[in-house]
Structure 1
Amino acid sequence: MNITLKISTVNLKNRLPQEVRAFSAEELQEFITQGTVIKKKKQYLLIIHHRQFTLQCPILRMDDGSYQMIWPSFKLPNRSYPVFVYLYAVAWYLSSGESMRSTAQKVIKVFGLTTFSHSTLCRFLPKLYPILPYLIQYGAQIINDWGSTTSRVVPRKHWDKLKCVLAEQLIGLLEPVLRVPPEFGSWFAYQYFTDTDRFLV
């Protein structure tokens, strides 16, 4: 699943094993047969499973003269990890009863990261609550495609009633990311972008 968007950049300076990933010749040929011209490629870094990947995203010149970039749905702008890492962190925190620090350590182990700060989770989670009313529309499709959700929220002492309700709704949507992080996380981000022309965060 790929999405098109305007160009943005990200800069990381990590010393991890590096690997270059590009769109396949078949994927690019599909655009070329439609009359699209590939002008150049932009590179973005992505870190997962103790590796640093360089994603090569082609910039296409469309028939109307505009430029569009092909962007993989698992990549968030200005974020060094795939979207499913952040969604997994949120889902684990809401359902496990663990602290944000413990959740960050769990995420580091599960996804083979060098670092993942609890403050990242602290900033990411509140950005999902405002778009929750929009995300709820995916509820039936999530149940049909990914199975019913079984995780329950473990409320925190400092949460009020409204926050508990919002957290319950959010874990109801995100629970599949605990079972199949890459597939569900990419699908979820793709659906939201396709419907809104915006990234999750």
Structure 2
Amino acid sequence: MNVNKLARLLAAAALCSSAAVQAQSSWDGVGNFSIGANANGAWSYRVRAADGSLSLMGYSNANCRGTPGLACWNTDAGDWDLPMIGLNTTGAEIVFPSGVVPLSSLHMHPGADGDRPVLTFTAPATDWYRVTGQFQMVDRTPTGVQVLVSQDATTLVDKPLTLFGQTVQFNLKRKLNAGQTINFSVDAAGNFANDSTELKVGVLRLN
């Protein structure tokens, strides 16, 4: 095949792929979860350090914290696996002595040094977006967390969860420029023990 023709075909394929991403109209944090790549489409799995810096979680594990079927991203290749963002892939509720890991929600837990897990949605195109979902405390004896939603550095939701089963729901309509982010995070609020928190989130492009 002529080299110039091949180059044109590859360029056209790249444009089609980019157009498909921009044309997508809905995203599901749970349904789109994968430990295969970070970033993963519009989603990325990050950690916010105590100094406020953000970086991608660099390790994935199909059996986080030694738990078969608890797939996750984290920042540590060792057994501690915190902070983490994970998903129960077993088909049944995972039960711990202190709590549960339900199906159909993302499992988030902060780390010991003020570092917190951050699920990030990056807008593929400039438009209005509807962001809906909820956080839920799933530790039976929680020490309490602060759950946050932000647009880039602007805080939109900042509320505590202190009781087992307690939820914080959100329903936000936001104008996002291409490349702007919506971030969902769980802060230990001082004590990181028993801070298991679930997140369900969906994003809908409105136009």
TM-score of the pair, normalised by structure 1: 0.25
Which one has the bigger strand percentage? 2
The structure in which a higher percent of residues are helix is 1
Task: Tell me the TM-score normalized by structure 2.
Answer: 0.25
